[in-house]
Amino acid sequence: MLMAYLSRLSAIAGNKINCGPALTWMEIDNKGNHLLVHEESSINTPAVGAAHVIKRYTARAPDELTLEVGDIVSVIDMPPKVLSTWWRGKHGFQVGNKE
């Protein structure tokens, strides 16, 4: 039933379903193919945004990223500021947090 719904939704949307969080929740890619989600790693998490690094940052903890001016970071989680001032992102094959 879910595949029928997704097929119809995809047809209505003109095969342009590209909302990363929604696709991740449904565990499908933007063509309706089932994704094999590995819970241990965030490297395959679709980005919700991108950030351009304007200040060098050296990681201070194992779950942080070291960034250089000009790097582009894919933002994969942006919790509300009342919950955390840290965003989760990925740079190349590294995943970490950045304030």
Instruction: Say if residue 55 is in the same domain as residue 91.
Output: yes
Q: What is the CATH number of the domain that holds 80?
A: 2.30.30.40
For the chain, what is the domain count?
2
Instruction: Assess whether 20 and 55 both reside in one domain.
Output: no
Whether the CB-CB separation of 87 and 57 falls below 8 Å is answered with: no
Q: Are residues 58 and 79 in the same domain?
A: yes
**What pLDDT does residue 82 have?**
83
Asked if the structure places residue 44 within a domain, the reply is no
User: Torsions phi, psi of 21, nearest 5?
Assistant: -60, -40
What pLDDT does residue 21 have? 53
pTM of the model: 0.48
Same domain for 56 and 91, yes or no, is yes
Could you tell me the residue range of the domain that residue 6 belongs to?
A: 1-37
| Structure confidence at residue 50 (pLDDT) | 82
Question: In the chain, which stretches have pLDDT less than 70?
Answer: 6, 9-10, 12-47, 93-99
